[in-house]
Amino acid sequence: MNKIENDKVSHHLMAKKLTLFSFFTWFWMLNALNVKAQDPNFHIYLCIGQSNMEGNANFEPQDTSGINARFKVLQAVDCDNKGRQMGKWYTAIPPLTRCNTGLTPVDYFGRTLVDNLPKKVRVGAIVVAVGGSKIELFDKNNYGSYTATAPDWMKGMLKAYQDNPYGRLITMAKIAQKDGIIKGILIHQGESNTGDKLWPQKVKDVYNNILNDLNLKPNEVPLLAGEVVHKAQNGKCASMNEIIDKLPQTVPTAHVVSSEGCGVADDLLHFNIAGYRELGKRYAEVMLPLLKKKSKSK
């Protein structure tokens, strides 16, 4: 091989090395930017369920003022009447679920968290809930058969999520993951599944699907499940609490939030405004020790 050929080979090898170097430099910079964009002190919570998660009581003036800007909601639907766009963060002024829903336990869950966490920590919530729905609505593989037979009064709510609330939840969660870290999943559901002994397994399937679709680890993302209106308040679906209370036997990372003593609406199915405030605080009181425990382990 003569000198000219040697020079050509050397030049070719150098060009390949420069190309690889450029690629890895670009790849490293891209990852560095992503890491920088994702704030570990922005705690995200995914919230699903039926009407008591959606928010059945009309909020009052005290519920819409003085809200800490560290508590955010990622809008899951477009709300022209509120000047909010789907997929964008806003200070968590109710309604948090859809454009005309009421106060949800998530309102006082988030407020209680920011009041008890370091000031560097922000809290974000994504709320996807449909009144009257069974847990089957959040079955990613079979939700279509449920929505196809949904009653007329539910169709408008389903349409807001393009008939796929689970899909909307995952889409919003992936947006949120660019900004912060998912720390937990909240569920309040069960009235429409009263007496269904398979409910814990169905919830486990939904929980596992969320974890898998978002690349989350169960020991890092606990599941908080709230009881329905308690028997002490003559709840019409109170028998369901016996099933809800057994959820940790099926989902080891699940924690049950008691509803005993929370204020109740006249229909004995929903909580009243005071009940939602109290239940939200109780969700937070369950979550706060879990966060402290995780912080100490790290």
Question: Judging by DSSP bridges, how do beta strands 71-74 and 89-91 pair with one another?
Answer: antiparallel
The size of the chain, in residues, is 298
- Which of 43, 51, 63, 188 is an active site residue? 51
Question: Nearest-CA neighbor of 34 among 181, 140, 201?
Answer: 181
Q: Under a CB-based contact definition with an 8 Å cutoff, are residues 188 and 226 in contact?
A: yes
Query: What phi and psi values does residue 214 have, to the nearest 5 degrees?
Result: -115, 10
Instruction: From the candidates 152, 267, 295, 297, give the one annotated as an active-site residue.
Output: 267
* 270 assigned to active site: yes
Which parts of 38-122 fold into alpha helices (H)? Answer: 51-54, 105-116
Contacts 24+ apart (CB under 8 A), 88-93: 89/124, 89/179, 91/67, 92/67, 92/125, 93/64, 93/67
**b/e per residue 264-275 (b: at least 16 CB within 10 A):** bbeeebbbbbeb
- Residues 6 or more apart in contact with residue 128 via CB below 8 angstroms: 46, 47, 48, 76, 97, 161, 165, 166, 168, 169, 172
CA angle 169, 279, 47 (to 5 degrees): 5
Q: Is 51 a catalytic residue?
A: yes
267 noted as active-site residue: yes
CA distance 238 to 256: 14
H helical segments located in 80-135: 105-116
CB-CB contact of 280 with 226 (8 Å):
no
User: Which residue out of 43, 133, 259, 270 is catalytically annotated?
Assistant: 270
State the DSSP H helix or E strand holding residue 35, giving kind and residue range, or none if neither: helix 3-37
**Catalytic machinery residues:** 51, 267, 270
